[in-house]
Structures are given as structure tokens and as C-alpha cells.
Structure 1
Amino acid sequence: MNAPSEMSHEDVLRVRLEVLRREHRDLDEAIDALQDSVRPDQLTLKRLKKQKLALKDKITKITDELTPDIIA
């Protein structure tokens, strides 16, 4: 039982990435449901789409950090 009790920085990033991806999917479903309603609230749609874009930016940043740069 000599396993380290703390997660590495990379492990923390991977967990964070999965949480962000789940939130992104949830927002996507919420946007779809709202758009399918009879009279969708355009302001709410705009806010949800903005949140979704912000999540995508965070996902991209973490993915870039986890992916090593390969110089070809």
C-alpha cells in the first residue's frame, strides 16, 4: 500500500476534462430541448450557447495541455 495519495497534475486535468465534456453535453441537450419548445426564450438560448462555447474553449485548452507538442 505504497500508492501515492495525491493525484498527479495530469490526472487532475483528465478528470476536469471529463467533467467539462459532460457539462458540454448537458448544455447541448438543454439547448436542443429549448429549441424544440413552442416559443423558445431567445435570451436563454443565447446564454446557454455562450456557456457552451466557454466550456468548449476550456476543453480545448486542457486537451492542448495534455497533448504533447510533436515537431514534425
Structure 2
Amino acid sequence: MTLRKVIQGVGGLSHEQWRSFHNMAEMVESKNFLDGDLIQSFLSLSGHGMEEISKAMNVPVEKLEERVKELRRFLSRAR
């Protein structure tokens, strides 16, 4: 949730809209999943953006970077 507040969605859409399910009958909002693309975008933020997220989550920037890189390595091995 903290990342979505700082990082803009694709094409001006919110991340919830972008990842939601759409068909002719309904639109179902995405809920309760980890968006790997959004998480990895943390590494592309400026120092100020990283710091903003770090403060909001009460986790040091270095720790967040370490975790995101760890998740990226895990996902690359899983493919």
C-alpha cells in the first residue's frame, strides 16, 4: 500500500485498476496479492522516494533494498 502511494500506476491508472480483472459482465478489483512489478519498481526510485517509503514503513532503506533484491533473485531462479 505504501508503494502505491508513491509510485504512479501505468497509463494514469491506479495499481488496483491496472491489476483488476475485467470482462464484459464485471470488474473485480485485485486484492490480497503481492505485485512483483510494483515491488521491484522500488529499486528505480530516487533516494528521496526510497526514503519516503522507508519512513512510512519504519524500515531502513538498506533493509528494503536488500529484501527487494532478495525477492528478485528468488523469482529469477523460479522461472
Q: TM-score range by the shorter chain?
A: 0.3 to 0.5
**TM norm structure 2:** 0.34
Larger radius of gyration: 1
- Kindly indicate which of the two structures has a greater share of residues assigned to helix: 1
- Kindly indicate which of the two structures has a greater share of residues assigned to strand: 2
